[in-house]
Amino acid sequence: LAFALMTGLLYGRFSRPSAKIVFSENLLVAPYKDGNGLMFRMGNASKSELIETEVQVLMAFNQREEDGTVNRKFYPLSLEINKISFFSLSWTIVHALSDQSPIFNFTAQDILDANAEIMVLVKGTDETSQQVVHARRSYSGEEIVWNAKFSPVIERTSRGVPKVLTRRIGTHELLEIE
């Protein structure tokens, strides 16, 4: 009985599914619609799909109040798409830098001076085990690349099946400033 109990506890501890999500190393500020967008890319490195996958992005930065004190403020960032039914390949998450954004008209130096941090939480259901899995990532102001775009990461196998090159999920190209 003790052996069965120990085996069950160890199996339960080490067999929990985890989200095998690969995040880009950098956030990019890239052209988006009529302005710019703050974006990062993630890929599913698991053999199984994640279903009902949801992303939340929160930004924290120091803000000087009228009385001169500095407070850490937290703002949820609205996303172009924050939930998808199937996550099997890659997904570029975009926050439009519009007049509704808490960092509208911020420059690279403004982000650094405010000691900004962007926190990402991903939640989805593993299709194999039907259990909810989580992944998280945090980006600092130094990890934001301005005027860049992501390089393609999907290629097709010899049978024509799309495949994500997870090792290249964060590759990007700098854009020429016009």
Tens place of pLDDT per residue across the chain (178 aa): 888 888 877 776 666 667 789 999 999 999 999 899 999 999 988 888 889 999 999 999 998 888 889 999 999 999 999 999 998 888 999 999 999 999 998 999 999 999 999 999 999 998 888 888 899 999 999 999 999 999 988 888 888 888 888 888 899 999 887 6
CB atoms within 10 A of CB 74: 11
Give tens-digit pLDDT for 34-68.
Answer: 899 999 999 988 888 889 999 999 999 998 888 88
Q: What is the DSSP letter of 13?
A: H
Task: Kindly report, residue by residue over 25-34, the tens digit of the pLDDT.
Answer: 999 999 999 8
Which two three-digit tokens encode residue 112? 């650094």
CB of 110 within 8 A of CB of 101? Answer: no
